[in-house]
Amino acid sequence: MRQLKILKGLGLLVGMIIGAGMFALPYAVSRAGLWWGSFHFVLAAVLVTCVHLLYGKVLFNNHLRHRLPGYVREYIGESAYWVTLVSRFFA
């Protein structure tokens, strides 16, 4: 049962990545230019990797299980919790 959930999540993630890679990215790069598109691709890859590494460090060092808003409430505070909760709701 757990493996089926993992496969469904993986399928959704792969579908979104392939969809963006096939349609949105080539169009954006063709409009902006190869060098500018490459610069933004590298910048986005570095930023996403850093954010994931930081979030992984929080998960590794915390023994309680929360979602992102719960960790924000614990480490940053109540006002940041509400901002994160609302942004996650609309995302």
| pLDDT tens digits, 38-74 | 999 899 999 999 989 988 888 888 888 888 888 888 8
Contact 72, 84 (CB under 8 A): yes
- Based on the fold, state whether residues 84 and 41 are members of the same structural domain: yes
- The residue range of the domain holding 22 is 1-32
- Based on the fold, state whether residues 59 and 15 are members of the same structural domain: no
- Based on the fold, state whether residues 21 and 4 are members of the same structural domain: yes
Q: What is the pLDDT of residues 64-86, one digit of tens each?
A: 888 888 888 888 888 888 998 88
Q: How many domains does the chain have?
A: 2
- Based on the fold, state whether residues 46 and 70 are members of the same structural domain: yes
Q: What is the pLDDT of residues 19-29, one digit of tens each?
A: 777 888 888 88
Question: Model-level pTM?
Answer: 0.59
63-72 as b/e: b if 16+ CB within 10 A: eeeeeebebb
Q: What is the pLDDT of residue 47?
A: 96
Q: What is the pLDDT of residue 39?
A: 94
